[in-house]
């Protein structure tokens, strides 16, 4: 058998600038003079796969980032009520924490030697008066919310009954207006029982030198008009001793006073708490004067001041609110620590027959 000689194959490995990998260059002699070259590229297919995978990963990551950026918009579009409720709760929590810190700052001021309510602003006094009630009301919700998975239970429940489980920090504007009016309506229902208690003591005042003056005051309130500040202040002495001083009021009378001033009834220290409330009311009146008077109050502050003192500001003109609050502050200026009971009864004496109050209590009748 004749065997032909197979020419030796020579070749070299080199790095391809095109594919970025090793290639094998092989030369084959042809007719002892010509040769041709075969270039073998190793892993060319796998290189394409890696590049495509990189492009795919980049595309997926880009889309994912864009989705996250717009996630709140997607939720707001598909679940508007849920997102609104969640945001309201988060914003409410921030505001609640802010006011809580402010409340404890005010307490530190009051506990500082030489400091008193005279060093506080009207807004700070209002916060000092309101925050303990709000903290007590919201505490169970916040405690349960902090427990693992507790938010899934308490949040829906809280927003099913926001008036009873949450405070104003967590309400929207509509709820704030609605619940404030409902709360005032509940308070105003105690005006009549308090007035009846005042009337019931008239018999024991017959020998008193102020009996005639007081009878005129009570008669005006009972007939649908309001006595003047001067007429009420003239009877101040009746609230400094028996029968209208806090120490001499019946338990039922005290309960109605507490509810009229939006305070918890409780069991202990009822009269002491009412005394403190009267003191704070008087200090708030002084703060209004220090800050420029009733005429300089912003409209929202003016309405809130009327609300705190038992007058429904809804549908009232600014001039009417200013006139009423001016009368209140004038009466407050006649009150001292021995006659705090008079200031506590001022909502009845000054606003019992206010049209806005009557329309709120007997809305169905007016409708």
Least reliable range by pLDDT among 34-43, 107-116, 259-268: 34-43
When the pLDDT of each residue in the chain is averaged and rounded to a whole number, the result is: 84
State how far the Cα of 11 lies from the Cα of 27, in Å rounded to an integer: 6
State how far the Cα of 121 lies from the Cα of 293, in Å rounded to an integer: 13
Residue 25 pLDDT level (bands cut at 50, 70, 90): very low
Percent of the chain with pLDDT over 90: 65
State how far the Cα of 143 lies from the Cα of 269, in Å rounded to an integer: 28
pLDDT at residue number 157: 87
Phi and psi of 322, rounded to 5°? -60, -45
What is the C-alpha end-to-end distance of the chain, expressed in Å? 126
Tell me the H-state helices in the chain.
44-69, 71-78, 80-110, 122-146, 151-160, 162-165, 173-188, 191-200, 211-222, 229-234, 251-260, 270-290, 299-308, 318-332, 340-344, 346-351, 355-361, 363-366
Task: Work out the average pLDDT over 110-136.
Answer: 95
What is residue 192's DSSP assignment?
A: H
State how far the Cα of 25 lies from the Cα of 125, in Å rounded to an integer: 91
What residues contact 100, with CB distance under 8 A and at least 6 apart? 131, 135
User: Which element (helix H / strand E) includes 23?
Assistant: strand 22-30
Task: Work out the average pLDDT over 184-206.
Answer: 96
What residues contact 334, with CB distance under 8 A and at least 6 apart? 229, 233, 236, 342
Distances (CA, A) of 97 to 141, 150, 170: 14, 20, 12
What is the torsion angle, in degrees rounded to the nearest 10, for the CA atoms of residue 133, residue 139, residue 140 and residue 143? 180
Return the half-sphere exposure (C-beta side, CA atoms, 13 A cut-off) of residue 186.
Answer: 11
Q: Residue 17 pLDDT more than 60?
A: no
State how far the Cα of 249 lies from the Cα of 168, in Å rounded to an integer: 33
Residue 152 pLDDT level (bands cut at 50, 70, 90): confident
pLDDT at residue number 294: 97
Higher pLDDT, 279 or 18: 279
Q: Note the pTM of the prediction, 2 decimals.
A: 0.78
Least reliable range by pLDDT among 56-60, 107-111, 166-170: 56-60
User: Which element (helix H / strand E) includes 36?
Assistant: strand 34-41
State how far the Cα of 219 lies from the Cα of 293, in Å rounded to an integer: 32
Return the half-sphere exposure (C-beta side, CA atoms, 13 A cut-off) of residue 316.
Answer: 26
Residue 190 pLDDT level (bands cut at 50, 70, 90): very high
Residue 50 pLDDT level (bands cut at 50, 70, 90): low
Q: Residue 212 pLDDT more than 90?
A: yes
What residues contact 267, with CB distance under 8 A and at least 6 apart? none
Q: Residue 309 pLDDT more than 80?
A: yes
Residue 30 pLDDT level (bands cut at 50, 70, 90): very low
Q: Residue 45 pLDDT more than 60?
A: no
pLDDT at residue number 258: 98
Mean pLDDT is highest, among 4-18, 30-44, 74-88, 274-288, for 274-288
Task: Work out the average pLDDT over 149-156.
Answer: 80
State how far the Cα of 322 lies from the Cα of 71, in Å rounded to an integer: 49
219-270 residue pLDDT tens: 999 999 999 999 999 999 999 999 999 999 999 999 999 999 999 998 999 9
Task: Find out whether 199 and 219 touch, Cβ atoms under 8 Å.
Answer: no
pLDDT at residue number 73: 60
Q: Residue 71 pLDDT more than 60?
A: no
Q: How many residues does the chain have?
A: 367
Domain residue spans of the chain: 10-69, 80-171, 188-366
76-96 residue pLDDT tens: 565 466 667 777 888 888 999
Task: Find out whether 260 and 254 touch, Cβ atoms under 8 Å.
Answer: no
Helix axes 318-332, 299-308, angle to 10 degrees: 50
State how far the Cα of 124 lies from the Cα of 250, in Å rounded to an integer: 33
Task: Find out whether 261 and 274 touch, Cβ atoms under 8 Å.
Answer: yes
Residue 1 pLDDT level (bands cut at 50, 70, 90): very low
């Amino acid at each position: 058998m004749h065997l032909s000689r197979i020419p030796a194959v020579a070749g070299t490995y080199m790095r391809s600038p095109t594919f970025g990998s090793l290639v094998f260059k092989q030369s084959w002699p042809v007719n002892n003079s010509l040769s041709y070259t075969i270039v073998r590229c190793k892993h060319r297919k796998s290189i394409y796969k890696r590049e495509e995978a990189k492009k795919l990963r980049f595309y997926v990551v880009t889309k994912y980032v864009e989705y996250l950026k717009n996630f709140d918009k997607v939720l707001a579009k598909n679940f508007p009520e849920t997102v609104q409720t969640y945001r309201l709760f988060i914003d409410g929590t921030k505001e609640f924490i802010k006011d809580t810190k402010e409340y404890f700052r005010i307490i530190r001021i009051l506990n500082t030697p030489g400091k008193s309510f005279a060093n506080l602003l009207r807004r700070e006094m209002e916060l000092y008066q309101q925050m303990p009630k709000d903290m007590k009301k919201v505490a169970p919700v916040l405690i349960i919310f902090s427990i693992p998975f507790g938010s899934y239970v308490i949040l829906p429940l809280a927003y099913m009954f926001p008036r009873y489980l949450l405070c104003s920090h967590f309400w929207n504007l509509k709820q704030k207006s609605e619940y404030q009016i409902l709360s005032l309506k509940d308070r105003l229902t105690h005006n009549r029982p308090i007035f009846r208690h005042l009337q019931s003591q008239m018999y024991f005042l017959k020998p008193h030198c102020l009996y005639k003056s007081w009878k005129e005051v009570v008669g005006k309130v009972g007939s649908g008009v309001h006595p003047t500040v001067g007429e009420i202040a003239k009877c101040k002495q009746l609230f400094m001793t028996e029968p209208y001083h806090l120490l001499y009021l019946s338990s039922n009378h005290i309960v109605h006073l507490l509810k009229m001033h939006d305070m918890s009834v409780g069991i202990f220290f009822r009269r002491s708490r009412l005394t403190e409330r009267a003191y704070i009311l008087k200090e708030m009146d002084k703060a209004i004067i220090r800050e420029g008077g009733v005429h300089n109050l912003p409209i929202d502050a003016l309405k809130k001041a009327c609300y705190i003192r038992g007058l429904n500001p809804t549908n009232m003109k600014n001039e009417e609110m200013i006139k009423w609050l001016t009368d209140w502050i004038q009466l407050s200026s006649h009150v001292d620590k021995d006659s705090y009971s008079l200031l506590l009864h001022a909502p009845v004496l000054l606003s019992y027959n206010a049209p806005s109050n009557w329309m709120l209590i007997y809305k169905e009748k007016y409708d």
